[in-house]
Amino acid sequence: MASPHPFDPPLGRPRRRRPRTVEPRRTAPELAIRSDFFRDLVGSMRNSVIAITLEGRLVFMNADAYRTLGLVASNDDIGRHFSDVVASCPDMVRVLNDAFTLQQLPNRAELRVKSTGKVIGYTLCHVRNGAGDVTGAALLFKDLTRVEQLEERERLRDRLAALGEMAAAIAHEVKNPLAGIEVMAGLLKRRVGNQPDAHELLNDIIHEAKMANAIVIEVLDYVRPIRLQLEPVPLGQIVDEAVHMAEAQALRGAVGVHVLLPHDLPPVDGDAHQLRQVFTNLLSNAYEALNGRGRVIVRAQLVVGDRPVRTGDTAHATGVAIEVTDDGPGVPEEVRDRIFAPFFTTKPRGSGLGLSIVRKIVDAHDGKIDLVSGPQGGTTFRVTLPITRLEEAGDQGERDRGEAA
């Protein structure tokens, strides 16, 4: 009889076995609670989620996904083919179609959804069962439109910073010769005596030199860094002063101006001089567009983000939106996207810098400006300024916003 192996257990004693880990069997109520919890977990995610089966049937789509894609949820969406549910977003249909055809699924990719104009960042992954078999796919995405806008703003700042340095150097070099031309034309005008033709010609030279000098000054204002002297600014007083200042820049004529600002409108922390320039420019543009007849309405309301709130609800308000509306011919659709671009103008003798400077000042106040012009005419410029408390701004009483936004 062979001797036992030294590692074998002694004869007559059973071999020990490792205890197996057995997952406790869950009851139906426990499984229901677990399923409800995970459904609520995914539904509460701040990212958008779309889950489909291998056959393309929609299993899950959270509220954020519907909102990002501009769709309305329906009770019978679950179980339908995803191409029917998101049919109005062909870009998303194409992405989900690739879920079972691509060898390597995209991770952290970006896409502009043409139907909504939004930029989304997305990740596409397979769903596998315990055996490792693919049973479906999940698309996780997030609206990156605001991030894209901020990145574009930074790129624009870089481009305008380089342009600003060049424009400032050129403007300084041009300003002195223009002043010399104006002075010499004035001296020559005194010497020519009683010669009407010569006087008319010299008057034209002086006028054109002054116009060119005004453009140079606007260029310098545009490229010069904005230094904000922050203080609580009463918007009602700023608008009233802007109404009077605009009359000195443009012919008001019979245009009626109605200022409808709530008496309890909270002040904003800003630079009074710069904000006065913003509304003076907007009112001057309205006067010119109305050509001496029509109506301008200036109104304001509290907002949370872009959503209006009740007047007096300053505890929840994040900003103040001031609208300057005229009933003029409106802005043609083909030029609306370029209305704030530097040196773009529809006026015969405009410099194209007025609205660019307005947007630069608004951006320096961490605000935003929007244009609304309907097909039936009329134009509204909406300036939204944040309500920030001075104690939150710390000891920084002056901010340098050197680059144009």
pLDDT tens string 354-385: 788 888 889 888 888 988 876 677 889 999 99
Q: Which stretches does DSSP call E strand in 56-159?
A: 58-61, 109-112, 119-128, 134-143
Residue 390's pLDDT is 41
Question: Which range, of 73-82, 151-160, 254-263, 321-330, averages the lowest pLDDT?
Answer: 151-160
Residue 265's pLDDT is 82
What letter does residue 298 receive in the DSSP assignment?
Answer: E
User: Measured between alpha carbons, how far is 131 from 122 in angstroms, rounded to an integer?
Assistant: 27
Residue type, 283: L
279 vs 199: which has the higher pLDDT: 279
pLDDT higher than 50, residue 189: yes
361 with 272: CB under 8 angstroms? no
362 with 297: CB under 8 angstroms? no
User: Measured between alpha carbons, how far is 180 from 9 in angstroms, rounded to an integer?
Assistant: 113
pLDDT higher than 60, residue 404: no
Dihedral angle, C-alpha 128, 129, 135, 136, nearest 10 °: -50
Question: Which range, of 55-59, 165-169, 173-177, 229-233, averages the lowest pLDDT?
Answer: 165-169
User: Measured between alpha carbons, how far is 354 from 375 in angstroms, rounded to an integer?
Assistant: 24
Hey, which of 103-112, 185-194, 236-245 has the most confident mean pLDDT? 236-245
Residue 43's pLDDT is 62
Contacts of 34 (CB under 8 A, 6+ apart): 26
Residue 147's pLDDT is 79
Q: What's the mean per-residue pLDDT of the chain? A: 79
The mean pLDDT of 205-216, rounded to a whole number, is 84
DSSP string computed for 313-345: -TTT--EEEEEEEE-SS---GGGGGGTTSTT--
Nearest Cα to Cα of residue 296 among 355, 252, 244:
252
pLDDT higher than 60, residue 290: yes
The mean pLDDT of 320-346, rounded to a whole number, is 82
Is the CATH number of domain 145-224 1.10.287?
Answer: yes
> With bands split at pLDDT 50, 70 and 90, how would you rate the model's confidence at 211?
confident
> With bands split at pLDDT 50, 70 and 90, how would you rate the model's confidence at 39?
low
What ranges do the domains of the chain cover? 42-143, 145-224, 227-405
381 vs 192: which has the higher pLDDT: 381
Residue 25's pLDDT is 59
Residue 35's pLDDT is 64
Residue 304's pLDDT is 80
Q: State the chain's maximal CA–CA distance in angstroms.
A: 146
42 with 63: CB under 8 angstroms? no
97 with 107: CB under 8 angstroms? no
pLDDT higher than 80, residue 87: yes
User: Measured between alpha carbons, how far is 200 from 226 in angstroms, rounded to an integer?
Assistant: 40
User: Measured between alpha carbons, how far is 157 from 403 in angstroms, rounded to an integer?
Assistant: 6
pLDDT over 70 for what percent of the chain?
79
Nearest Cα to Cα of residue 302 among 293, 310, 290:
310
Residue 337, number of CB atoms within 10 A of its CB: 10
3-state secondary structure of 67: helix
pLDDT higher than 60, residue 16: no
340 with 355: CB under 8 angstroms? yes
Question: Which range, of 20-34, 136-150, 209-223, 329-343, averages the lowest pLDDT?
Answer: 20-34
pLDDT higher than 70, residue 17: no
Is the CATH number of domain 42-143 3.30.70.1530?
Answer: no
pLDDT higher than 60, residue 136: yes
Nearest Cα to Cα of residue 320 among 334, 330, 308:
308
Residue 314's pLDDT is 65
Contacts of 164 (CB under 8 A, 6+ apart): 222, 223, 403, 404
Residue 405's pLDDT is 39
Residue 27's pLDDT is 59
Residue 348's pLDDT is 58
Q: What does CATH list as the number for 227-405?
A: 3.30.565.10
Over its C-alpha atoms, the chain yields an Rg (Å, rounded) of: 33
Residue 396's pLDDT is 42
What letter does residue 388 receive in the DSSP assignment?
Answer: -
pTM of the full structure = 0.52
The mean pLDDT of 69-93, rounded to a whole number, is 90
Burial of 55 (0-12, 13-18, 19+ CB in 10 A): exposed
User: Measured between alpha carbons, how far is 247 from 235 in angstroms, rounded to an integer?
Assistant: 19
DSSP string computed for 157-177: HHHHHHHHHHHHHHHHHHHHH
18 vs 289: which has the higher pLDDT: 289
95 with 111: CB under 8 angstroms? yes
